[in-house]
Amino acid sequence: MRTLTTVLLLCAAAWAQQSGARPQDVATIDGVVAAYYDVVTGPAGQPRDWARDRNLYIPGVKFVAMSEKDGKPVAQVMTHEQYVQRVNDWLVKNGFVEKEIHREVRHFGNMAHVWSTYESRQKADGPVIARGINSLELYWDGTRWWVAAAVWDEERNGNPIPKEYLP
């Protein structure tokens, strides 16, 4: 049994490397969430590794950025490429550090829902410029975790982060 497990892990690692995914990014839920934040985080002038990011998600993944306009919810639905086009120049020009500060995971069978509370800064030691919650839908395909969808909303007046989602 131990030999079979070792062979399966080696095959998964080889497949992940062949697909461009880092094995440590997709082997566990912790790895996926860490990579999710790591890719967008970096100092001003540092290019982001969007190929690494792309390998976290299923083909055709949808990103949904929630906001409000005139008191009404607004959902900006994007592909991965649209998301990259939306944020890349700003992240590289200004620097950005996004850090998970709390996590709730609901796991059943081969699927997991991750509520990940975050805070954002422009520099690691800078003031917090935003806080919110990322909602990630993940599934396990037998060899790795995939993000099937990512939805987020920021804290704002009238939309505070509930206490149960804070450290």
Output the domain CATH number for residue 67.
Answer: 3.10.450.50
Side-by-side strand order, sheet with 145-154: 72-78, 57-69, 145-154, 130-140, 111-121, 97-108
Lowest mean pLDDT among 18-22, 117-121, 132-136: 18-22
Q: Which two tokens stand for residue 10?
A: 């080696």
Q: Cα 65–66–69 angle (5° rounding)?
A: 125
pTM here is 0.87
In 3D space, the residue among 37, 63, 56, 52 whose CA is nearest the CA of residue 119 turns out to be 37
pLDDT digit string, tens, across residues 57-99: 999 999 999 999 999 999 999 999 999 999 999 999 999 999 9
Strand pairing of 145-154 and 57-69?
parallel
Q: Is the pLDDT of residue 122 over 50?
A: yes
CA–CA separation, 75 and 81 (whole Å): 17
Q: Is the pLDDT of residue 14 over 70?
A: no
Q: Cα 136–139–145 angle (5° rounding)?
A: 90
Number of domains in the chain: 1
The predicted structure's pLDDT at residue 3: 56
Between residues 21 and 54, the one the model is more confident about: 54
Phi-psi region of 3 (alpha: psi -120 to 50; beta: other; left: phi over 0): alpha
* Domain carrying residue 96: 2-165
How confident is residue 20, by pLDDT bands cut at 50, 70 and 90?
Answer: low
Query: Residues 6 or more apart from 83 whose CB is under 8 A from it?
Result: 63
The predicted structure's pLDDT at residue 21: 81
How confident is residue 18, by pLDDT bands cut at 50, 70 and 90?
Answer: very low
Q: Is the pLDDT of residue 39 over 90?
A: yes
Q: Is the pLDDT of residue 9 over 60?
A: no
Q: Which two tokens stand for residue 35?
A: 């990579």
